[in-house]
Amino acid sequence: MNIKRFLSVFLCVSMLLCILSGCEKKLSVDVHLVYNSELDALQAIPDGGTEPTVTYLWAPIAYEPAELSTTPYAEWDGQPLYEVVGWYANRMLSEEFTGVGGLLYADTMELPTLSEMTFTTAYVCSATSVIQALAIIDDPAVLDQCADYLEHGEQAELPQNGDFTLFIKFMCKELPGIYYNVLYIEVGEDSRTADHYLYDRSTKRCVMVPPELFDGWLYGDEVIEGTADVGA
């Protein structure tokens, strides 16, 4: 069954979740962060102190938390900040994830770049849903090809009007609990003959990939579907 047929259902579900997530939360936290404009960073400074205990930088937009704690750990300017499951709070925090950005990491660590990542799994999500995977790609050959195209593929112009878009959230062994989210774009009504692109919003690289790369995963007669919960 073609994956496109499921998107209308996920659109309705995502709209409901957006409504529910709009409920206000009362903050009761002991950790308060302040913004340092010179560093463009958030810093945790103890009450009565002057030196920060942790300085957090914003991660590039492609990096996303896979799962957050259910209750806020800290706050910044009235915004709740959550622990990233699998990481200590002095290493990573995140704003409430709504589909883009918000991940913070300590300035004492370095995030692996695309060339340093070994993809292990990819969750395919509709552009309207960050909650559930429509397909799960776990073929090492396909994952390696995706990484190779993203890093070494010929730069292409980003399509302004795609006929079909998805998010592909890659997991890597070097950064457990964090997705590397790449945009997938089709230009053309028939998936088998359309032009296919991958766009890395962090590096601004857009590359064309062959139609057969995702045949059987995103389209075709034997689409491999998934129902994994991938929402933060």
Averaging pLDDT over each range in 5-19, 40-54, 149-163, 212-226, which range is the top one?
149-163
220 domain residue, yes or no? no
229 domain residue, yes or no? no
- Looking at the fold, whether 102 and 177 belong to one and the same domain comes out as no
Tokens of 226: 């998934």
Q: 92: pLDDT confidence band, cut at 50, 70 and 90?
A: very high
| Total tally of structural domains belonging to the chain | 2
Q: Is the pLDDT of residue 232 over 70?
A: no
Q: Higher confidence at residue 168 or residue 3? A: 168
- Looking at the fold, whether 176 and 191 belong to one and the same domain comes out as yes
Q: Is the pLDDT of residue 148 over 80?
A: yes
Residue 47 carries which DSSP code? T
| Least confident segment among 3-17, 67-81, 125-139, 194-208 | 3-17
Q: What residue numbers bound the domain in which 136 lies?
A: 3-15+113-214
Longest dimension (CA), the chain: 64
Q: What is the rounded average pLDDT of the residues 99-118?
A: 91
Tokens of 115: 């060339």
Q: Is the pLDDT of residue 117 over 50?
A: yes
On whether the CB atoms of residues 82 and 56 are closer than 8 A, the answer is no
β-bridge partners, 119: 172
Tens of pLDDT, residues 118-138: 999 999 988 655 667 888 999
Q: How far apart are CA 123 and CA 107, in angstroms?
A: 28
- Looking at the fold, whether 11 and 25 belong to one and the same domain comes out as no
Helices and strands (H and E) in the chain: how many:
2, 14
221 domain residue, yes or no? no
Q: 106: pLDDT confidence band, cut at 50, 70 and 90?
A: very high
- Looking at the fold, whether 174 and 200 belong to one and the same domain comes out as yes
Residue 153 has a CB neighbour count (10 Å cut-off) of 17
At which of 74, 106, 138 does a domain end? 106
On whether the CB atoms of residues 191 and 219 are closer than 8 A, the answer is yes
- Looking at the fold, whether 40 and 62 belong to one and the same domain comes out as yes
- pTM across the whole model: 0.81
Please give the share of the chain, as a percent, with pLDDT higher than 70. Answer: 80
pLDDT of residue 23: 44
Q: How far apart are CA 154 and CA 38, in angstroms?
A: 36
Q: How far apart are CA 213 and CA 207, in angstroms?
A: 13
Q: Is the pLDDT of residue 15 over 60?
A: no
225 domain residue, yes or no? no
pLDDT of residue 22: 46
pLDDT of residue 152: 94
Place of tokens 């980003």: 158
What are the residue ranges of helices labelled H in 48-185? Answer: 140-152
